[in-house]
Amino acid sequence: MTDYKIPDRTFTDRKNLTFRLAKMVAVWGYKHLTKPFLELHEDIVRLKKNNAVFFYAPLHKSLWETSGILVPLSLSKLPLPYIGMGDNLIRGGFFRRLCRDVGIFLILRATNRSEMLASAIDLKRQMVEHFAFGKDVLIFPEGTRTSIPKTGKYGKFFPAAFEGLLEYERNKQEYLKENPGLIHHDLYIIPGTTDYSKVREDIEMTEGTKGKPRTLRIWDTIKMIKNIRETYIDFGKPIRVSDHLDKDRKELAEFTRAKCLELVKILPINIVSWAILESVEGECINVSKIEGNISFYIQKLINFKDRFRGFSENDSPSAIFEKVNKYDSLFKLKNIDIRHIKVYRLYANYIGHLFEDIKKD
């Protein structure tokens, strides 16, 4: 027999000095050390006013997102979600207590089958608990930033992150019945993406040891608020979970991933990177061909011009090239080199799925 009784909540109310200080630093960095552009679907604010609960499930490209994408939610007068993070990112009891104070709950990074099962069970428990108490949750269902640098494609969304959604929505009345005082909430998934003119960990993820980023400690959050430059944050149309109860957790994960991919923007650095790759000749890059290839890829992606950000189809190739090389030294004409091909490929592959869509058409 299933037990729908929820014990007293285990998460903090975030009414503490640690949270206030962390929020103050994050807001200051967002306003003064980045150039952010936010696209927030109009239904999000409307639904929150009607007491909806959100599961934010964005794509994951940089550790900056663990704090950076929360600030525009706060500035939009939306409650901050509680964040699920891999326990490998936070070492030591002291730092884990700090994380709990600011609203982070830890997810076991499994190394074997038994740990994988235990992690899934605990994640479902934590998510149901947050939803039952009307708290929003944010998890990066890919579980890693390294899918693109390793495989050239965005990673699959782990189904375990969606088990708690379906568990709560399918059994909501039982949870309400067994836990007097809980309030009915409509549950929605919020797809999202962040697109960068400069991913801080680009070198580390492509040219570091075995392609593994070294920025895996809580102190690196401080470093994440510099050199971000133009950053495009998009929270898309809410997905009502009750409309998708015919799906299992894997199908719901795949559906959400597809909605996130529809939000990915095309920036100058993505176009220029494809142009550089197209200019490779043997073991060299023919820089004289780059501007011509910029024009080629703009036309190739013209059906996605509604996703162009930071440029338009009417900009000259030289102007687009200049926008990139002025803030990233690896893209300056004198520095373009085959040695950096992995970095160029990284930025190109952030929009690589769009070429698959072109083939389908």
Q: Where do we find the tokens 């090239």?
A: 321
Q: Where do we find the tokens 């949870």?
A: 175
Tokens of 329: 């030294």
DSSP secondary-structure letter at 262?
Answer: T
Q: Classify strands 239-240 and 187-196 as parallel, antiparallel or unpaired.
A: antiparallel
Tokens of 119: 């992690």
Q: Which of 345, 355, 358 is CA-nearest to residue 148?
A: 345
Bridge partners (DSSP) listed for residue 232: 37, 195
Domain with CATH 3.40.1130 in the chain: 17-261
Give the C-alpha separation, 231 to 192, whole Å. 13
121 Rama sector, left if φ>0, alpha if ψ -120 to 50, beta otherwise: alpha
Tokens of 142: 């890919």
H/E element holding 356? Answer: helix 352-360
Query: What residue type is assigned to position 147 of the chain?
Result: S
| Max Cα distance, the chain (Å) | 71
H/E element holding 359? Answer: helix 352-360
Give the C-alpha separation, 133 to 125, whole Å. 13
Q: Where do we find the tokens 């009784």?
A: 5
Contact by Cβ (8 Å): 56, 235? yes
The angle formed by the CA atoms of residues 70, 89 and 156, to the nearest 5 degrees, is: 75
Q: Which residues lie below 8 Å from residue 210, measured CB to CB, with a gap of 6+?
A: none
What secondary structure does DSSP assign to 35-70, as a single string? EEEEEE-HHHHHHHHTT-EEEEEE----TTHHHHTH
Q: Is the dihedral of CA 179, 185, 186, 190 positive or negative?
A: negative
C-alpha distance from residue 217 to each of 58, 159, 222, 307 (Å) = 21, 26, 10, 33
| pTM listed for this prediction | 0.90
Residue 158 burial (CB < 10 Å; 0-12/13-18/19+)? buried
Query: What's domain 17-261's architecture?
Result: 3-Layer(aba) Sandwich (3.40)
Position 216 scores a pLDDT of 45
Give the C-alpha separation, 286 to 277, whole Å. 10
Q: Which residues lie below 8 Å from residue 202, measured CB to CB, with a gap of 6+?
A: 343, 346, 347
Contact by Cβ (8 Å): 264, 295? no
H/E element holding 138? Answer: strand 137-138
Q: What is the pLDDT along the chain (361 residues), one digit of tens a residue?
A: 467 888 777 788 888 898 899 888 888 888 887 889 999 999 999 999 999 999 999 999 988 888 889 999 999 999 999 988 776 666 666 677 777 787 888 777 767 777 778 778 888 888 999 999 999 999 999 877 888 988 999 999 999 889 999 999 999 999 999 998 899 999 999 999 999 999 888 888 887 545 455 544 555 555 555 566 899 999 999 999 999 999 999 999 999 999 999 999 999 999 999 999 999 999 999 999 999 999 999 999 999 999 999 999 999 999 999 999 888 889 998 999 999 999 999 999 999 999 986 655 5
